[in-house]
């Protein structure tokens, strides 16, 4: 699956390891919440980066105390309509102060990029090889934001008064 | 009224460009209908029985004359010469072509309008009291907060894929003209202990197949916390609202299943983390928005207007209209004028392009250039001098908008029903028309008094039948249309869900049944009781007996 980071397609170093299968000896590995909860010590004993992949009914509150163990938290969109992960991403960034990669996986579509970016996602597993071009369009087509979120865009209500204060 | 600044304008312009791209990708086959659907729904474009339907947002029901003229132009140029004003204070066009819709959105953007989030599982148009800012009983103008909510809820990155659509209603007055207890969130302006203003917060009301009058989860929320509190509610709902079943996805089901107390607890807990943060609007922004709703330059007039009274004495038809369609204005010498979109035998809520143009002219001449759309599918000119009323009335009569039936039996709310809607079981509009014809005698309507009939073509309840004094719900059995009658519903401060009275009636019999209910009330009423008062006093039994006696 192509991975989009900072607007460019990159090689994905991460391997998503299914619950039934053996963990690779080394290299970055992404596991389920269930595996993490059942085999925590084994996973921490590995000498390689660890990531976790949460389903859309698994809140990051469940791993809030362990976040510094994970280099990646992947949040799943089983269908694009299931918008729970938007809240999860904001909680990760704004409530728990998570600085690692927050990755969108599952049904990740071009027209959701901007919302995802604003909620704190910074990596996107996409199905389309042309995603980089789409990305550039999608994140720049609306320049005005009306609300604070997990990104650095300034809501217009702040811009309005910053400007009039400067006048 | 609120006017866009460069930021607001930029957003709608960019949105038109974005949608043009999406339509082009759809027409080129790059997007499947399945992928296009959520995108078009974010822009109010539905696929209906016969054609696309475009729903245009009229934020909290307020229009300028220029905007109304543009709506007329769109009806003429891209549709069949009319539009349909809805119970959510919006307007719908029933016949646009897909390839025209980007142009229509561009026309709208040129007058500071859009169709953003008029469908889809995100925030919908925030609605309010059609008398906001001019009502005598108002604590504070709710439109300031509606506009704040409009901006905050527009393209909200976190809440654009909610379990289900989300509707917020706000009222600034204790007499609820905005059905706030029947919305996902209802806000009622209240005074706190020190006289400061804030909101009572109601969550989880709704209609549809499981109607609820929403419970209050907070008695008083100081205004400065409005957005952080709303965001806390939304975050709880976005994570916990049901996504396994479309029919159980509204926040009312979460509130019902978890209990109002539990929901309150979760909201307050979430709020604890985000209050006093980035969501507190700067005071100068609230003031900037408030300034847009400053009262127009009223003249100083005497409360008593002998000329107006004289006209009423001299002209009985005018007097009837004035007694029925006017409401009290807070400024002496002015009146609120209701324009009925319910001519006898007409389609509730429909207006022709010519009528829209004429209303725009009248608004400019007589009401500071503004028009409101009501959730009962009528129009309002909110600021008319009493001395102008007679002339205005004559002009309204010329364009068919002076039917003196506000709040009466023929002022019916009806959804599009089987004439347009793919989800319908039965037609609504013809039933409304037949009831209108049956009670065409205005004297009789006035004798009957306040009576709200509301008709939906299926259980989704777009026609508010659950809260009609008399509610009519279309059903289908073996290819035949049937209509179930409910009694005792109410959408105001005494909100109530109507009770089913008994077996459904055939299309042929339903108008007789309504008439029987009305006649029963007329026989039973005491000292000036309205229908709803009598019903509350006697209950449904007497009505039931009369309706089913023959069977
Ligand atoms: C013709 C196309 C329409 C379709 C397909 C449609 C569909 C629906 C559906 C599915 C619901 C139930 C939602 C739920 O319970 O979760 C609903 C509710 C509602 N609709 Fe419509 N509708 C249409 C037109 C209208 C019109 C024209 C109006 C305004 C006159 C309207 C206003 C409402 C209202 C007020 C509700 C109930 C309040 C609530 O959301 O609980 N709808 N609609
Ligand atoms: S109530 Fe039913 S028939 Fe009427 S518009 Fe809504 S979905 Fe369609």
CA-CA-CA-CA torsion sign (A75, A78, A83, A84): negative
Q: What is the pLDDT of residue B115?
A: 93
Closest by alpha carbon to B328, among B383, B391, B393? B383
> Which residue from A87, A137, A164 is facing B158, i.e. has the nearest CB?
A87
Token output for A3: 């991975």
A140 interaction partners in chain B (CB closer than 8 Å): none
Q: What is the pLDDT of residue B183?
A: 96
Query: In the beta sheet, which residues pair with residue B352?
Result: B82
> Which residue from A86, A95, A145 is facing B273, i.e. has the nearest CB?
A95
Mean pLDDT, chain A, whole residue set: 93
Of ligand 2's atoms, which has the minimum distance to the CA of residue B416? 5
Q: Are B335 and B308 in contact (CB under 8 A)?
A: no
In degrees and rounded to multiples of 5, residue B82 shows phi and psi of -150, 170
Residues of B with CB under 8 A from a CB of A: 5, 7-8, 10-11, 14-15, 17-18, 21-22, 35, 38-39, 121, 151-152, 154-162, 227, 235, 238-239, 243, 273, 278-279, 281-282, 284-285, 288
What string of DSSP letters covers A35-65?
HHHHSHHHHHHSSS-EEEEE-TT--GGGGGG
Q: Which helix (H) or strand (E) holds B454?
A: strand B453-456
Q: What is the pLDDT of residue B529?
A: 95
Packing angle of the helix pair B65-78, B101-109 (nearest 10 deg): 170
Q: Is B16 in the pocket of ligand 2 (CB under 6 A)?
A: no
- Judged by phi (left if over 0) then psi (alpha if -120 to 50, else beta), residue B259 lies in left
Q: What is the pLDDT of residue B251?
A: 97
List helix spans (H) across B293-368.
Answer: 306-314, 316-325, 353-366
Separation in Å, CA of A38 to nearest CA in chain B: 25
The residues, ordered by sequence, that sit 6+ positions from A135 with a Cβ below 8 Å of its Cβ are: A4, A7, A110, A113, A124
Q: How far apart (Å, rounded) are the C-alpha atoms in residues B149 and B445?
A: 39
Q: Beta strand B82-85 with B91-93: parallel, antiparallel or unpaired?
A: antiparallel
Q: Are B136 and B328 in contact (CB under 8 A)?
A: yes
Q: What is the pLDDT of residue B43?
A: 86
Closest by alpha carbon to B1, among B61, B45, B91? B61
Q: pLDDT 10s per residue in chain B (551 long)? A: 999 999 999 999 999 999 999 999 999 998 888 888 888 888 889 887 778 889 999 999 999 999 999 999 999 999 999 999 987 788 999 889 999 999 999 999 999 999 999 988 999 999 999 999 999 899 999 999 999 999 999 999 999 999 999 999 999 999 999 999 999 999 999 999 999 999 999 999 999 999 999 999 999 999 999 999 999 999 999 999 999 998 999 999 999 999 999 999 999 999 999 999 999 988 899 999 999 999 999 999 998 889 999 999 999 999 999 999 999 999 999 999 999 999 988 888 999 999 999 999 999 999 999 999 998 899 999 999 999 999 999 999 999 999 999 999 999 999 989 998 889 999 999 999 999 999 999 999 999 999 999 999 999 999 999 999 999 999 999 999 999 999 999 998 888 999 999 999 999 999 999 999 999 999 999 989 999 999 999 999 999 999 998 65
Name the residue in chain B with its Cα closest to that of A154.
B278
**Per-residue pLDDT at A129 exceeds 70:** yes
**How far is residue B378 from each of residues A134, A158, B73, B231, B342, measured CA to CA in Å?**
44, 37, 20, 32, 8
pLDDT in tens, B466-491: 999 999 999 999 999 999 999 999 99
Q: How far apart (Å, rounded) are the C-alpha atoms in residues B429 and B420?
A: 10
Q: What's the first-to-final CA gap in chain A, in angstroms?
A: 50
The four Cα atoms B69, B73, B79, B80 give a dihedral, to 10 degrees, of 80
Separation in Å, CA of A125 to nearest CA in chain B: 18
Q: How far is the CA of B119 from the centre of ligand 1 (A)?
A: 9
| Beta carbons of A143 and B14 less than 8 Å apart | yes
To probe the interface with B, which of A142, A152, A163 has the most B CB atoms within 10 Å? A142
Closest by alpha carbon to B431, among B332, B509, B322? B509
Q: What is the pLDDT of residue B218?
A: 97
Q: How far apart (Å, rounded) are the C-alpha atoms in residues B121 and B162?
A: 5
Q: What is the pLDDT of residue B439?
A: 95
Closest by alpha carbon to B91, among B369, B420, B465, B349? B349
User: Among all chains, which residue has been given the structure tokens 């989704």?
Assistant: B460
Q: Is B87 in the pocket of ligand 1 (CB under 6 A)?
A: yes
Q: What is the pLDDT of residue B54?
A: 92
- Which residue, judged by its Cα, is nearest atom 32 of ligand 1? B462
A128 interaction partners in chain B (CB closer than 8 Å): none
Q: How far is the CA of B439 from the centre of ligand 1 (A)?
A: 27
The residue length of chain A stands at 167
| ipTM greater than 0.85 | yes
What string of DSSP letters covers B182-235?
GSSEEEEEEE-TTS-EEEEEEE--B-TTS-BPPPEEEEEEEGGGHHHHHHHHHH
Q: What is the 3 state secondary structure string of B316-337?
A: HHHHHHHHHHEEEECCCCEEEE
Q: Is B417 in the pocket of ligand 2 (CB under 6 A)?
A: yes
pLDDT in tens, B247-296: 999 999 999 999 999 999 999 999 999 999 999 988 899 999 999 999 99
pLDDT in tens, A39-82: 999 999 988 999 999 999 999 999 999 999 999 999 999 999 99
DSSP letter at B212 equals B
Q: What is the pLDDT of residue B36?
A: 87
Q: What is the pLDDT of residue B550?
A: 63
| Beta carbons of B159 and A59 less than 8 Å apart | no
Name the residue in chain A with its Cα closest to that of B284.
A161
Sorted by where each begins, the domain ranges of chain A are 3-142
Token output for B213: 């009058």
| Beta carbons of A86 and B158 less than 8 Å apart | yes
User: Among all chains, which residue has been given the structure tokens 């035949």?
Assistant: B480
- Give, for ligand 2, the residue of B46, B53, B414, B417 to mutate: max count of ligand atoms closer than 8 Å to Cβ: B417
Residue B146 burial (CB count, 10 A): 29
- Which residue, judged by its Cα, is nearest atom 17 of ligand 1? B460
CA-CA-CA-CA torsion sign (B69, B72, B74, B76): negative
Q: Which helix (H) or strand (E) holds B265?
A: helix B260-274
Separation in Å, CA of B68 to nearest CA in chain A: 26
Which listed ligand is nearest to B87 at the C-alpha? Answer: 1
- Which residue, judged by its Cα, is nearest atom 25 of ligand 1? B462
Q: What is the pLDDT of residue A163?
A: 65
Q: A87 at the B interface (CB within 8 A)?
A: yes
Q: What is the pLDDT of residue B90?
A: 87
User: Among all chains, which residue has been given the structure tokens 């003249």?
Assistant: B299
CATH 3.20.20.70 correct for A3-142: yes
């Amino acid at each position: 699956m192509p991975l989009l980071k900072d607007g460019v397609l990159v090689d994905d170093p991460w391997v998503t390891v299914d619950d039934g299968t053996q963990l690779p000896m080394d290299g970055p590995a992404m596991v389920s919440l269930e595996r993490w909860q059942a085999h925590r010590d084994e996973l921490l004993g590995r000498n390689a980066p660890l990531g976790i992949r949460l389903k859309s009914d698994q809140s990051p509150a469940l791993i809030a105390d362990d976040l510094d163990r994970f280099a990646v938290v992947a949040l799943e969109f089983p269908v694009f309509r299931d918008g729970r992960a938007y809240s999860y991403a904001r909680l990760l960034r704004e409530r728990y102060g998570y600085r690692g990669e927050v990755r969108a996986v599952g049904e990740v579509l071009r027209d959701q990029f901007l919302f995802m970016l604003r909620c704190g996602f910074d990596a996107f597993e996409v199905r389309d090889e042309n995603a980089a071009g789409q990305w550039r369009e999608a994140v720049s087509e609306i320049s005005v934001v009306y609300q604070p979120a997990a990104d650095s865009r300034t809501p217009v209500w702040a811009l309005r008064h910053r400007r009039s204060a400067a006048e | 009224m609120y006017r866009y600044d460069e930021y607001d304008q930029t957003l709608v312009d960019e949105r038109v460009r974005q949608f043009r791209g999406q339509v082009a990708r759809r027409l080129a086959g790059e997007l499947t209908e399945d992928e296009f659907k959520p995108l078009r729904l974010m822009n109010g474009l539905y696929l209906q029985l016969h054609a696309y339907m475009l729903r245009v947002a009229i934020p909290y029901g307020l229009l300028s004359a220029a905007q109304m003229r543009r709506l007329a132009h769109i009806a003429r140029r891209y549709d069949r010469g009319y539009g349909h004003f809805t119970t959510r204070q919006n307007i719908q066009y029933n016949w646009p072509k897909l390839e025209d819709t980007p142009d229509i959105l561009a026309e709208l953007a040129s007058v500071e309008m859009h169709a953003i989030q008029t469908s889809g599982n995100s925030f919908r148009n925030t609605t309010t009291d059609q008398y906001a800012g001019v009502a005598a009983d108002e604590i504070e103008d709710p439109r300031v907060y509606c506009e704040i909510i409009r901006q905050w809820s527009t393209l909200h990155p976190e809440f654009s894929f909610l379990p289900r659509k989300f509707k917020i209603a706000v009222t600034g007055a204790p007499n609820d003209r905005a059905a706030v207890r029947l919305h996902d969130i209802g806000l009622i302006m209240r005074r706190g202990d020190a006289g400061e203003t804030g909101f009572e917060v109601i969550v989880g009301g709704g209609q549809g197949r499981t109607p609820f009058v929403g419970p209050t989860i907070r008695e008083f929320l100081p205004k400065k916390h409005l957005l952080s509190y709303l965001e806390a509610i939304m975050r709880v709902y976005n994570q916990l609202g049901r996504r396994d079943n479309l029919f159980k996805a509204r926040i009312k089901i979460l509130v019902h299943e978890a209990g109002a107390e539990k929901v309150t607890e979760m909201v307050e807990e979430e709020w604890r983390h985000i209050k006093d943060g980035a969501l507190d609007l700067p005071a100068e922004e609230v003031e900037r928005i408030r300034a847009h709703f400053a009262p127009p330059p009223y003249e100083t007039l005497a409360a008593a207007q002998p000329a107006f009274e004289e006209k009423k004495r001299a002209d009985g038809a005018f007097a009837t209209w004035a007694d029925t369609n006017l409401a009290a204005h807070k400024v002496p010498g002015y009146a609120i004028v209701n324009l009925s979109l319910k001519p006898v035998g007409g389609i509730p809520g429909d207006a022709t392009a010519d009528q829209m143009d004429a209303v725009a002219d009248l608004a400019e001449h007589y009401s500071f250039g503004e028009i409101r759309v009501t959730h009962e599918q009528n129009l309002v000119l909110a600021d008319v001098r009493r001395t102008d009323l007679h002339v205005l009335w004559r002009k309204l009569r010329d364009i068919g908008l002076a039917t003196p039936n506000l709040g009466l039996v023929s002022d019916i709310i009806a959804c599009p029903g089987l004439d347009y809607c793919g989800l319908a079981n039965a037609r609504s509009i013809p039933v409304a028309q037949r009831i209108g014809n049956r009670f065409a005698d205005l004297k009789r309507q006035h004798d009957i008094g306040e009576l709200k009939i509301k008709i939906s073509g299926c259980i989704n309840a777009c026609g508010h039948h659950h809260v009609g004094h008399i509610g009519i719900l279309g059903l289908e059995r073996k290819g035949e249309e049937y209509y179930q009658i409910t009694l005792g519903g109410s959408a105001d401060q005494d909100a109530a869900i109507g009770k089913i009275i008994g077996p459904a009636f055939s299309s042929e019999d339903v108008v007789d049944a309504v008439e029987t209910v009305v006649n029963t009330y007329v026989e039973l009423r005491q000292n000036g009781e309205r229908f709803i008062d009598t019903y509350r006093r006697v209950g449904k039994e007497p009505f039931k007996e009369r309706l089913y006696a023959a069977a």
